[in-house]
Structure 1
Amino acid sequence: MSDGIVHRQPRRGTPKIRPATEADAASLLAIYRPFVESTAVSFETVAPTTDEFAARIAKAVAGWQWLLAERAGQCIGYAYGSAHRERAAYRWSVEVSAYVHPSHQRQGVGRTLYERLLEDLAQKGFCNAYAGVTMPNVGSIALHRSVGFESIGVFKSVGRKFGKWHDVAWFQRPLRSSPPREETAT
């Protein structure tokens, strides 16, 4: 009998969260590839190679953070930070993304990843985190709201994939009130 309420599936234990390395690229790409090939969740139209994905991990680890979640030694999800925009004035803002294997969704994996990622990014001095969500995506919106993100707008028909236009909802979460130090232009 259905009570009309969407119930969270029981957790299988809190996953282990650790920084990703380039050696994790193949496992993490196995999670990401179906999102590229079968959904509009990612606006990439061709999945990257393992080497390309490893380079992305290295870049994120060097400037922001890339974390993965494991259960029983198996990668089940990941979250990372990247540049929000390239101009210098954006240096204290970060864009974040999370991907969780479908068989591990709605079990707290994304939330656990984001909680740790956002904490790490705040410690690195980032002040605001931004996330874009291809619409519709009730689960991703719920995830972002559950860790303190607020809706700040929608880019209408901003991406075209699978012969269809897609909207992207944008979310923001403050991480800290000011950067660790203000740099002045010379």
Structure 2
Amino acid sequence: MSGDVRVRLARIEDAEELAAIYEPYVRETAITFEYVPPTPAEFAERMRKTMEFYPYLVAELDGRLVGYAYTGTFKGRPAYDWAVETSIYVAQGHAGEGIGRALHDMLELLLRAQGVLNMYACIAVPDGEDDETLTRNSQHFHEHMGYRLVGEFYQCGFKGGRWYNMIWMEKMIGEHRADQPPVTPFPETSVTYAEC
């Protein structure tokens, strides 16, 4: 790695670069089960929707965007409000440089400030041995970040002429109480990004 990774809040203007990071994951791998990469405009709309309530982060290295992370609603029922689904993508060619960890650490910090208690990751995994489009590297990364495996669904995703499995992993980041306060929308949290 030639410089220091800087994590900051995403801006809608980042959508084109972020869509470019995501595109090869869609076209060349089974890491995502999408078949068609979103356009920059579609990507920007996804970002807007997320940023209404949750943090959306990017990682910069030598002035270029090299990764991003965000969360979304886990389920659309109010009893699930304290749980989120997380996503992290690192630009190809930058694996193992600490970018994913930097993004995850900041994301977890900001989610704690919101009052989120459970972080979930939905991860595509091979049905058996690793192949050229999918490994269990993401599972191992999340294990290293403190997640535990809570379930595996078999042959539930079909891409590139092959069937793949999907796992759910979970990390508890807060105290579960009987008088649980509501989760605060990220734009309204008292802890600002600059203070983190």
Q: Same fold (TM over 0.5)?
A: yes
Is 2:72 the partner of 1:82? yes
More relative contact order, 1 or 2 (CA 8 Å, 6+ apart): 2
Q: Which runs of 5+ in 1 are unaligned?
A: 1-10
4+ residue segments displaced more than 3 Å: 11-14
Per the alignment, residue 47 of structure 2 pairs with 57
Give the TM-score of the pair, scaled to structure 2.
Answer: 0.83
Match of 1:45 among 30, 35, 48: 35
1:82-121 alignment, distance < 5 Å: 82-121=72-111
SS at match of 2:93: helix
1:110-149 alignment, distance < 5 Å: 110-136=100-126, 137-149=135-147
Per the alignment, residue 158 of structure 1 pairs with 156
Deviation at 1:139, TM superposition (A): 1.9
Q: What letter corresponds to residue 167 of structure 2 in structure 1?
A: A
Q: Which runs of 5+ in 2 are unaligned?
A: 127-134, 184-196
Deviation at 1:24, TM superposition (A): 0.2
Contact 2:3 2:62 in 1 (8 A): no
Contact 1:82 1:95 in 2 (8 A): yes
SS at match of 1:63: coil
SS at match of 1:131: strand
Q: What letter corresponds to residue 165 of structure 2 in structure 1?
A: D
Deviation track 1:150-178 (CA, whole Å, cap 9, x = no partner) reads 11110111211112211012110011113
Count how many residue pairs are aligned between Structure 1 and Structure 2.
Answer: 173
Per the alignment, residue 170 of structure 1 pairs with 168
Deviation track 1:19-77 (CA, whole Å, cap 9, x = no partner) reads 11110000001100000111110111111111110011111122111100001110000
Q: What letter corresponds to residue 66 of structure 1 in structure 2?
A: Y
Contact 2:69 2:107 in 1 (8 A): yes
CA distance in 2, matches of 1:105, 1:34: 14
SS at match of 1:29: helix
Q: What letter corresponds to residue 138 of structure 1 in structure 2?
A: R
Per the alignment, residue 4 of structure 1 pairs with none
SS at match of 2:30: coil
SS at match of 1:116: helix
Deviation track 1:91-146 (CA, whole Å, cap 9, x = no partner) reads 11100010001211111110110011011111111110000111133321221112
Sequence identity (%)? 36
